[in-house]
A and B are shown apart, each in its own frame.
Chain A
Amino acid sequence: MTHPPLVEARNLSVEFHMRRGLFSRGPAPVVQAVRNMNLSIQRGETLALVGESGCGKSTLGRAMIRTAPIAHGELIFDGKDITTLAGETLRRARSRFQMIFQDPYSSLNPKARIFDTLAEPLRVHTSESTAQIRTKVSEMLEAVGLDPTFAARYPHEFSGGQRQRIAIARAVIVQPDFIVADEPLSALDVSMQLQILKLFDDLRDRFSLTYLFISHDLARVFSFADRVAVMYLGKLVEIGTAAEITTNPRHPYTKALLAAAPSPDPTIEADREVPMLSGDIPSPAFPPPGCRFHTRCPIAMEMCKRIDPEMTHFGNSHMAACHAAAPGLSHLNTPEPEKDLLP
């Protein structure tokens, strides 16, 4: 990759301080929602970030647009370190990175007309006249497939899919470079999900956008993304091109995610074996030692309980963090036959 990335997280950690219990002693527990994250996104690229609830994917997304507190590490945006940007400079920089939220029922101000919701970003970032803003709002509504006359209405008059279109319009109207979309499909019905995904695809080309697309549904987003990153309990466990991840997954968690997705075909479903992960996801406040996945991992080894695996390269920018998958370490899992001593 010759171009510098548009967004880059370097050893990024996000921590939350929990409230101490009324009668408990000792310091308040600290939750590392995101731990030592290294992630870079190229201009024009779409990176899908998948994982289950509590894995820290939303927190990472918020940190990457500077709305979650960064505890350690750096965040580079378009060549500039924006980790410690604050006050008015940060506020002005915000027009370049935007966020789209999961629940379109809570992400739109119920007391504001659609026009005001869409005009607000323009008013605070540009000095355009009311007439210019009006034109832009109309154009934007059309761009997201809505009637420009909807501007005069309130959010409660719209369906979930329409609201999500409005939320998307609000994010795109300031012409940002980078958009974090936090589960923008999961609150929608199946038929709406595809409609909205197609809208994201359309806008990506029209406004040359870069997406961090957060989802728990790998099947829905793999074909939409250039690369896929898989997170588990605050850490990246695997990253690679969408094709690599879906056809040649290395991490047992990625494999489980792929296998868990049902197929709309009873004949396939009748004999499909769903590999079961034991138990639930542990609390991010008390992650297991060693590899964080070992408590649910079907192929966990002794060392997984002690040593946290490093990211290992598998070629083509495909990386995974698993002792069992790492090529050099496989002998720890299954004893390999003695190597020939012949030269």
Chain B
Amino acid sequence: MSVLRRLIPGKRDMLGTIGAGILLFVALGAVLAPMIAPYDPTAISLLDRMQPPMWLEGGSLAHPLGTDNLGRDMLSRVIYGSRISLAVGVAAVIVGAAIGSTIGIVAGYFGGWVDSILSVVINAQLSFPFILLAIFILSTFGGGFWPVVLVLALGAWVNYARVVRGTVMSVRTQDYVHAAISVGVPTLRLLRTTVLPNTLSPIIVVASFSMAQAILAEAALSFLGVGVDGANPSWGVMLNDGRAYLQTAWWLTAMPGLAIAITVLGGNLCGDWLQDRFNPRIGN
């Protein structure tokens, strides 16, 4: 008998704060990269190549996380790499959320055949191995920042559409929606002013999770060589670059890998916490 639902226990709050803290930390690093990175991440210095992190023998304080095969400073590269990874993540989230939420609202609100068609599309998309699709598209049409963002958004929109559709289906049965209709609010306006604000919480939760997913997926794609390429490498590109030196210089892959893991963990902790926060609580 759940009569008075429990509130969020303190532990969850703490984990959520840690998650948000991680994301904030990574975001700050990305924004302030030119100020905090000790070196130019693309500056090649063949004399300093393959230096191990400072706590290993042969490492030095000059390059705390060591250097790569071209003598570029790993710390600087990880800091700059966050720019690409985060930018891809954020852009994929925005594009995916915009597409997915719109479709979800339309399907959930109007129901009927619109909903049936969209449900088929959603299920088809979900049953298709996303990474194969992404590789196919990117290798056919070429990689780059925007193509990767679009492909990731293509993979993520279903998550928004599914959650938003479900939420809208319950929101539209609420009396405040009936009230708005009987007051004579036009449908589009109703969706914007009444339905959307009440669907925002689950959208934010999904965004938080799918941000983490997008960063992971971008890394995977870049690792496979179909991701973002350019002067400033993303963490995924760094993973790919370091692959050949796994035996001799493991830090070339471990450092960007760790960065990815920590960021993804932050996004997931944050998402979990938000989900708990936004869950409908029974008032007294």
Contacts and interface: CB of A to CB of B under 8 A. Distances in A.
A165 to B, nearest CB: 14
A198 interface: no
Contact of A112 (B174, B183, B193, B283): B193
B230 interface: no
Contacts, number: 68
Interface string A88-132: 000111110111011101111111100010001100110000000
B277 to A, nearest CB: 15
Given A67-B182, A93-B184, 5 more contacts: A95-B184, A106-B176, A120-B180, A120-B193, A121-B185
A278 B181 CA distance: 40
B179 interface: yes
Contact of A170 (B183, B193, B194, B283): B183
A156 B194 CA distance: 16
B186 interface: yes
Interface of B: 174-176, 178-186, 189, 193-194, 197-198, 200, 283
10 closest A-B pairs (Cβ-Cβ)?
A94-B184, A107-B175, A111-B197, A101-B175, A121-B183, A109-B176, A106-B175, A99-B182, A91-B184, A124-B185
16 contacts: A67-B178, A67-B181, A91-B186, A94-B182, A98-B182, A99-B182, A102-B175, A106-B176, A109-B176, A109-B198, A112-B193, A116-B193, A121-B184, A125-B184, A167-B179, A170-B183
A111 B204 CA distance: 15
Nearest to B173: A106
Contacts of A109: 176, 180, 194, 197-198
Nearest to B198: A111
A64 B198 CA distance: 28
Contact of A103 (B175, B185, B197): B175
A242 interface: no
Contacts of A93: 184
B167 to A, nearest CB: 13
B198 A110 contact: yes
A245 interface: no
Nearest to B195: A109
A137 interface: no
A174 interface: yes
A154 B181 CA distance: 20
A174 B178 contact: no
Contacts of B193: 112, 116, 120
Contacts of A99: 178-179, 182
Contacts of A116: 193
